[in-house]
């Protein structure tokens, strides 16, 4: 069964003065996927998020959320959206439970549902035992509470703007794990410039560069774009590594027992194996290097 697209941007353009920040941008996000919206700082990711939320006017093109057109200033479509800004703001004197209950009352969630929803969400983000005031929270705890608040109304689309950029690796992993776990309940779009986070959980990505998508698609297909990151050979003995590097040209010694052949394909690796065999040199292992998102990103940005 074809998944419905929860978010669609068609030929969207946005200028600030004479600077075109977003240039004829089109992409769509199917439901129950995690979409990584990546790009350098200043690439226009936040501007795009704000247009999706109806906070910035779209100059050209159309944005649709759950099949409805986003209209600047009217924000009817925001009833489908949960939003986590890069620095969420809270009332520091409240506890997480009090804060979520206040948010639920404002949006009209019935009292009975609100209590169980609050408990369920605090458990989801690992704050069920944190009954101290929010002002004592670490940055990571605040981000987790921000996700709980964004999910309160069971949105169809959860938008997170750089949710992990100010966190340490443990805090980042916690956020990423939470986003992964809510995928069956909602659709997640998160913008970031931290590529390892994207690599860990995204189903689809769009790389924003110069206001356009320089690269987009399914994560697995994108990885296959560049299988030729070369291969590594590891030996049991240093002298084998030295001997082989003289026999088979172009290798770089990356450690005493490891050779790297950059930008070579599988065919070249087979030739190297033949030379190993003919010269009776036993490698410990030989393997292709996977293309990383980082290397693809650098390639696109350099163009």
Provide the residue range defining the domain that includes 42: 5-224
| pLDDT for residue 186 | 96
Whether residue 139 is found in the same domain as residue 273: no
Confidence (pTM): 0.80
Beta-carbon contacts of 29 under 8 Å, excluding residues fewer than 6 positions away, are 5, 6, 7, 8, 35, 157, 187, 189, 204
Could you tell me if 150 and 288 lie in one domain? Answer: no
Q: How many domains does the chain have?
A: 2
| Whether 182 and 288 share a structural domain | no
pLDDT in tens, 8-44: 999 999 999 988 999 999 999 999 999 999 988 888 9
Q: Return the pLDDT at 78.
A: 93
Residue at which a domain ends, from 190, 224, 258? 224
Q: Is the domain of 95 the same as that of 55?
A: yes
pLDDT tens figures, 132-145:
999 999 999 999 99
Q: Which CATH number is 72's domain given?
A: 3.40.50.300
Among candidate residues 224, 248, 272, the one where a domain is terminated: 224
Query: pLDDT category, 63, cuts 50, 70, 90?
Result: very high
Q: Are residues 82 and 100 located together in one domain of the fold?
A: yes
- Crossing angle of helices 139-151/96-106, nearest 10°? 30
Domain boundary at 171, 206, 224, which? 224
Q: pLDDT grade, residue 228 (50/70/90)? A: low
212 and 265 co-located in one domain: no
């Amino acid at each position: 069964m074809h998944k419905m697209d929860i978010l669609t941007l068609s030929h969207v353009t946005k200028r600030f003065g004479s600077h075109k920040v977003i240039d004829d941008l089109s992409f769509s996000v199917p439901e129950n996927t995690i979409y990584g919206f990546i790009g350098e700082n200043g690439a226009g990711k936040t501007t795009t998020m704000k247009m999706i939320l109806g906070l910035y006017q779209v100059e050209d093109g159309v944005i649709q959320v759950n099949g409805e057109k986003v209209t600047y200033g009217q924000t009817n479509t925001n009833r489908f959206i949960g939003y986590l800004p890069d620095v969420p703001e809270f009332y520091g004197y409240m506890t997480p439970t009090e804060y979520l209950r206040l948010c639920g009352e404002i949006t009209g969630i019935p009292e009975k549902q609100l209590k169980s929803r609050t408990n369920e969400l605090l458990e989801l983000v690992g704050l069920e035992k944190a009954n101290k005031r929010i002002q004592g929270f670490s940055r990571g705890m605040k981000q987790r509470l921000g996700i709980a608040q964004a999910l309160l109304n069971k949105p169809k689309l959860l938008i997170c703007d750089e949710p992990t950029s100010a966190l340490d690796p443990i805090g980042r992993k916690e956020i990423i794990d939470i986003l992964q776990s809510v995928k069956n309940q909602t659709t997640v779009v998160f913008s970031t410039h931290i590529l390892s986070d994207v690599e860990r959980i995204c189903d689809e990505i769009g790389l924003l560069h110069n206001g356009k998508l320089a690269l987009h698609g399914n994560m697995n297909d994108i990885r296959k774009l560049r299988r030729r990151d070369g291969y590594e050979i590891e030996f049991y003995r240093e002298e084998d590594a030295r001997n082989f590097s003289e026999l088979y040209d172009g290798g770089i010694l990356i450690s005493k027992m490891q050779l790297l052949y950059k930008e070579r394909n599988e065919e070249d690796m087979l030739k190297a194996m033949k030379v190993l065999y003919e010269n009776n040199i036993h490698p410990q292992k030989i393997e292709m290097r996977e293309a990383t998102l980082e290397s693809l990103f650098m390639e696109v940005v350099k163009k």
